[in-house]
Structure 1
Amino acid sequence: MIVENNVPLQPYNSFGIVARAQNLVRIASEADVAELRADPRWRDAPRFVLGGGSNIVLTGDVKPLVLKVEIKGLRLVEETPRAWIVEAGAGEIWHDAVQWMLEHGYPGLENLALIPGTVGGAPVQNIGAYGVELQDRFDSLDAIDLDTGRGFTLDAAQCAFGYRDSVFKHVRSGPNDFGLSGRALITRVRFRLPKPWKAVVGYLDLERKMEETGNFTPSATDVFDWVCAIRRAKLPDWRVLGNAGSFFKNPTVTPEQCADIIARDPKIVHYPMDDGSIKLAAGWLIDACGWKGKSVGNAGVYERQALVLVNRGGLENPVTGGEVMTLAKAIQTSVYERFGIRLEPEPVVV
């Protein structure tokens, strides 16, 4: 185990924000965590777990010890008449893992193709796209309690998945609270991929692809290719134009609130939910407030999708975390003043 000092974090966050880690250690196995805890210099040091850096906004240098998760590995754990159980190391690139599973005959995650980040970050955020959420394909995960050094396993119920939420995003506030933010390092994730496979194509953009192609019985590879094409057309490649993906969660409102908004803005994009609430498209709300294409310093709103904030300064004059958050707060104010809705950011602000 080597603890690196004064490490640039610009390559490790998809926004491309310039920041440094005072100290950083690469975690390639569970043994690295054990070795770290055995070292009296680092056993009780504050820690920050870093995966793919695709869902964070760095507002300055990171003082806690950065644990850069780089645990690899992909394998079929079990096959039953009802499902394939596939395990991936937390440090695997998410899209690469999805593609590997598809190529090896384990479909089910194709709707989540091309989402940036690593496998370990997926359950933290309960990532979702095009009609599928991680919790729909989740089996279990392994993690290490950084306070005690003990390994543990969680199933879906114990992860307390919600919309872009999980137990890993909540801080423990009492002895009976199971919040794991800052306490757990995810090492491996297992997926339950149902058999027989069935295409999930109820999402509007995928329905359009079926109409365009005349293919109404797509294979998993077809869905994968369609999702990749849709995302590339709508969203910027973070390696070319820094961003953290969708910056705000789609808010939910009551049917009465939605009816009130529709009376004033009939074109608002909205989706009925199973629990009776209505989900509104945050990108539409932001666009309606005139933010698409606008900038604050080097932080901008993407021209093709108002839900995405981007780094307009590139590598030479990169955006700062302060500029990103100033723009985000201005957007939140605009949306609240017009619609009475408070947008909640998806990324973690560090």
Structure 2
Amino acid sequence: MTEAAPVTGVADVPEAALHQQRTRRDRSHRPRPAPPRRSPGTLLTGLLRTARPKQWVKNVLVVAAPAAAGRLFSWHTLTELALVFALFTACAAAVYLINDARDADADRAHPTKRHRPVAAGQVPVPVAYAVGGALAVLAPAAAAWLTQPLVAALLTAYLGMQLAYCVSLKHVLVVDLAVVTTGFLMRAMAGGLALGIPLSRWFLITTGFGALFMVSAKRYSEAVQMAGKQGATRALLTEYTPGYLRFVWQLAAGVAVLGYCLWALEEGGVPHTSVLPWRQLSMVAFILAVLRYAVFADRGTAGEPEEVVLGDRALALIGLVWLAMYGLAVANW
């Protein structure tokens, strides 16, 4: 008789294969875990990080015009300047939030920017848009209610210009430098407008070209550091040449020094009752500060202006000497 062929059944399947099949079946029927919830504290931390607290030091420029006019030492002035500082900080935070929400997809592909809260998912894109939009509306409205109408108009113009920069102007040669520089100049003007202080032409020239000096030096440093590398952090760095950016920051530094010297040498009807000509002497400290900062610009290490100003002891010392002389000149001691 011919033997019947053996019947292949479950018993003939190796135990390891059965275990793998059962594991796959169990996993397929197991419900997927829900995405982790963001706690309110984590979300608030992400929103604060997106607002760039390190950049808030720029808003200290609101005290520039009152300091130049010698009107810092009164409770009303300090209260008004604190309010303007907070409003400018809110406007800048609105711009950062909207910018990061708009660039979230591109930032995720960047080795450094992918850690930003919006790109990393710590702050949802709709939340960033909502908070940024709310700040963009509330800050000028609060300025119109609590300060001078000109301050509200200035903040509205600042927001419009910066949002246009985020959308398209940052891709336009030279215009991008002008927009960032104007943002610094607006900060310096805000304090004077809030207190009704006339803004002199020398103040505007020195502040404007001083800001252009630092902005173009920053771009130059970025261009030098990214030379020959792929994936520049700013698209325009591939179109600007280091030679052109060097020309811009050298020109801006020269005009800023010239404007300051003309202010210091101008008599302006100030009575000669001070012990020493502090205004004229402050030119030395101002020029030394520009020359010291230019060392970092020339090396291509001025990519973070706040770190250069706060991190270099010599520059900090020169700045303190200049501040003392400037204060004595304003006080007419």
Which of the five TM-score ranges fits, normalised by the shorter chain? under 0.3
- Report which of the two structures shows the higher radius of gyration computed on alpha carbons: 2
Q: Which has the higher strand share?
A: 1
TM value normalised by structure 1:
0.26
TM value normalised by structure 2:
0.27
